[in-house]
Amino acid sequence: MKKQFQPLSTFSIRRFDFLLVTMVILLNLIGTAAIRSANPSYMTRQVYGMLSGIAIMFVLSAIDYRKLVNLGWLYYLACIAVLLLVIRFGEGRDQARRWITIAGIRFQPAETAKLLLILFYAKFIMRHKNKAKSFGFLLICIAIAAIPFYLIYKQPDLSTSIMVLVIIAVILFVSEVLSYRLVGSFLLISVPSVIIFIYVAIQEGATILEEFQKNRLLAWLHPEEYALTTAMQTMNSMMAIGSGQLLGKGYNTKEITSLLSTGYISESQTDFIFTVVGEEFGFAGACSVVALLAFISVRCFMTARTADFPGRIIASGMGAWIGFQGFMNIGVVTGVLPNTGIPLPFVSYGLTSLWALYMGIGLVLNVRMQNRPKAA
């Protein structure tokens, strides 16, 4: 009987993406500097998160992602389990309960859910790719996504639940479960539907949204009427970014005209960290952050182009996560979108988000090193 040989690994350190790692670390360094300026007490933990995240990234870049995705349903069950723990034991402030503490470690399960769902769909769609183009399989994928979406929405965390749907939609598109025709039809239906939804949700007595979510929509549509209440943070953020002009007021500025130093911008180390960048580093600094986010996202999609099926899903999912979440965060602080609590990737303070992102980038690096570039 002839001996069976396993195919040799295609792993090559020569394909390590130094450019992607450089851009990620540079963006993280900008974020750490901005956090120090916004609230110095958070900087030490952020530096720890960055260094440990880089270590995790390098470890995952050396582990064959094909073996990792084989856990499939375990990722999905873990995702549902941690989200259920938030419903039962969640901690938070105001109306939101988004954190849990286990063994003294406090983390935000919704951030880890994004990565877990990317890994789950990489295996699930690959296993059933012979059914990928059927409408029935699309409905199954949507039904599977509905459970984590609902659990995140009930925290309540509408922005993250929308972010999860965007990631899954991109995954379904690149894996050809969603066709151009379906995407076009969805956009034709969803755009007017969103307009109708917003109109109905802000009506007096409507119970579709929580009261604070309704107020945020009203403040977005009529900021002048909520300038001293719900819209104050966003309007102050816009003024601070604009006051930075071309080159900003200087790092950790103590100018009397600084809105950051007056304390009128809350959560400046997390959701509104882009405001700090805009005021202190000006238009040039803000554009640098936008460019880095865009290039990192594009780099992930470039890796997806030369990858096998699960690798394509992982890299595309990460590209959608970083790109679209960056757009959402910057859209909020500049008044383009309603005020929602969502971090700016690699810039905002938050160890859960930072670790999850570094883990995802580690997998993207691994995808690139495991797959040979396709011939032109």
Tokens 């950790």: give the residue. Answer: 252
Per residue in 318-374, pLDDT tens? Answer: 999 999 999 999 999 998 988 888 999 999 999 999 999 999 999 999 999 987 665
Q: What mean pLDDT is reported for the chain?
A: 87
State the residue range of the domain holding 21: 14-370
Flag whether 189 is in a domain.
yes
- Look at 201 and 309; give whichever has higher pLDDT: 309
Per residue in 36-86, pLDDT tens? Answer: 988 889 999 999 999 999 999 999 999 999 999 999 899 999 999 999 988
Question: CB-based burial of residue 243 (10 Å sphere; 0-12 exposed, 13-18 middle, 19+ buried)?
Answer: middle
Question: Is 164 a residue whose pLDDT tops 90?
Answer: yes
How many domains does the chain divide into? 1
* Model pLDDT, residue 320: 97
Question: Is 118 a residue whose pLDDT tops 60?
Answer: yes
Asked whether the beta carbons of 280 and 251 are under 8 A apart, the reply is yes
Q: At what angle do helices 351-370 and 109-127 cross, to 10 degrees?
A: 30
Flag whether 268 is in a domain.
yes
DSSP state letter for 251: T
- Annotate 153-192 with b (16+ C-beta within 10 A) or e (fewer): eebbbbbbbbbbbbbbbbbbbbbebbeeeeeeeeeeeeee
**Integer Cα distance of 253 and 46 in angstroms:** 21
**Integer Cα distance of 132 and 138 in angstroms:** 7
Flag whether 376 is in a domain.
no
Flag whether 289 is in a domain.
yes
Flag whether 255 is in a domain.
yes
The contacts of residue 320 (CB under 8 Å, 6+ apart) are: 166, 167, 170, 171, 297
The contacts of residue 189 (CB under 8 Å, 6+ apart) are: none
Q: What is the mean pLDDT of residues 172-189?
A: 85
- State both tokens at 302: 């470039």
* Model pLDDT, residue 208: 78
**Integer Cα distance of 283 and 240 in angstroms:** 11
Is residue 156 reached through a cis peptide bond, with omega within 30 degrees of 0 on the bond before it? yes
Flag whether 375 is in a domain.
no
